Amino acid sequence: MTDILNGLTVPLNRRSFVKKGLMAAGAATMAPAVFAEAGSQERSGALTRSGSLNTGDAALLRFAAAAEILEADFWIQYNELGGVQDSEVPGGSGSPVYTAKLKNLDGDFDQYIHDNTDDEITHFTFLNAYLVANGAQPVDLEQFRTLPGSQATGSSGSLRLTNLMQLTLDTSWWTRYRSSTHNPDLDPNFKFPPAVPGLRNGQFTAIPRTDADLTPDAHIQAIANTAALHMPTIEQGGNSLYPSMAQRASSVEVLRILISIGPTETMHFQTWSDKAGNALNTPLAPLTDPTNGLFFPNLNAPPNDKEIFTTNLIMPEPCPFLSRSLPACSVIRPTETTGVAMGTLRFLTDMGLFIGQSQAFFTFMADLAAAADAATRQC
């Protein structure tokens, strides 16, 4: 199957995914964003049901809802420590030191975290409500809320679904979107170089674990930088996933949902891609974390000063699309649909976002992914 985030062709099914995922440091899994059909029509603001969801579309929708619940969970953790706390996104009281380091990357960083968090909360609440309105089972992951979160001042101390403190990040999306010659849909075995190689060679925290992480200064800035690279790494997944899954939707209304929510993920990705560039440019880079040696290069300085690494290129370069016999086109990539759900789960498992989760959680998510990948478009 195709790993939609890296364009790697990897044979994978539900059984092998569960087995391999459980072997990977006890990590579980996350499902990305996808939805399903509703035989309903919107007329003058009123939802009028004309039938229940078919099996495939219901599976897509449930996978999407689970993914958005999980995404909201880690964004809430970011907001508690580095965002804006208000009635829209309650919980936590903020970490002034961590927030200041994030704001070194952009003065509005805390507001962006808040708004991204709010978006993801609305996504899963809408999807679950849509499932219920069309006679399908919503997704509830509360039984899996067992992971301890940050104990730093500012955190609510709540139990979590996701783990932001042992991340291993593949930042090859950076060069994938800047490449004018390669597209993972056409070149599934091409290795795009990562922006920050060190982030895939260990486990790193993106939030202060305790107040001890607030010093030394370079250490807490490195934690903020890790967050700044994690955010677009996650959002580029939904950026590709929505159009990939839309190709499997049977209902026009479900297609409408996918192509309406999907661009929001793209807006998130481009925003965080820009902020990540600020972490990899003067005056904040180069930076080395004195506690673990994690190195953030200056991508605008030698030997990285090449177009494929340039930090202000946040719009996708035109690349081959569908066929090399056609002109280059600026597109979301990849958008190959085969195995997209299970491939995304595998990617997020490798990221470490679910280290510490239970086998039951992992099995639950793998079942959702398998069902979503089995969905076929009914014309």
3-state SS string for 354-365: CECCCHHHHHHH
Q: Per-domain residue ranges for the chain? A: 2-374
Q: How far is it, in rounded angstroms, from Cα 243 to Cα 195?
A: 25
Residue 16: the pLDDT is 60
Residue 24: the pLDDT is 45
Largest CA distance in the chain: 61
pLDDT one digit per residue (tens) for the chain, 379 residues: 333 333 323 335 666 656 555 544 343 333 333 223 332 333 333 444 445 799 999 999 999 999 999 999 999 999 999 999 999 999 999 999 999 999 999 999 999 999 999 999 999 999 999 999 999 999 999 999 999 999 999 999 999 999 999 999 999 999 999 999 999 999 999 999 999 999 999 999 999 999 999 999 999 999 999 999 999 999 999 899 889 999 999 998 988 988 899 999 999 999 999 999 999 999 999 999 999 999 999 999 999 989 999 999 999 999 999 999 999 999 999 999 999 999 888 988 999 999 999 999 999 999 999 999 999 998 7
Listed in order, strand segments (DSSP E) in 149-236 are: 159-160
pLDDT tens-digit readout, 319-329: 999 999 999 99
Residue 241: the pLDDT is 87
CA-CA-CA-CA dihedral for 295, 301, 307, 310, to nearest 10: 60
Q: How far is it, in rounded angstroms, from Cα 49 to Cα 153?
A: 48
Single-letter code of the amino acid located at 194: P
Query: Which residues does residue 160 pair with via DSSP β-bridges, in sequence order?
Result: 147
- In this structure, what DSSP letter does residue 299 have? T
Residue 370: the pLDDT is 97
pLDDT above 90 as % of the chain: 79
Residue 43: the pLDDT is 31
- In this structure, what DSSP letter does residue 193 have? P
Supply the pTM of this predicted model: 0.88
My answer on whether omega of the bond before 302 falls inside 30° of 0, hence cis, is no
Q: How many CB atoms lie within 10 A of CB 314?
A: 18
Strands 159-160 and 46-49: unpaired
Residue 32: the pLDDT is 32
SS3 278: helix
Query: Which residues does residue 321 pair with via DSSP β-bridges, in sequence order?
Result: 323
pLDDT tens-digit readout, 274-308: 999 999 999 999 999 999 999 999 999 999 989 99
Q: Output the six-digit token pair for 135.
A: 């006679």
Query: Which residues does residue 40 pair with via DSSP β-bridges, in sequence order?
Result: 49
Residue 48: the pLDDT is 40
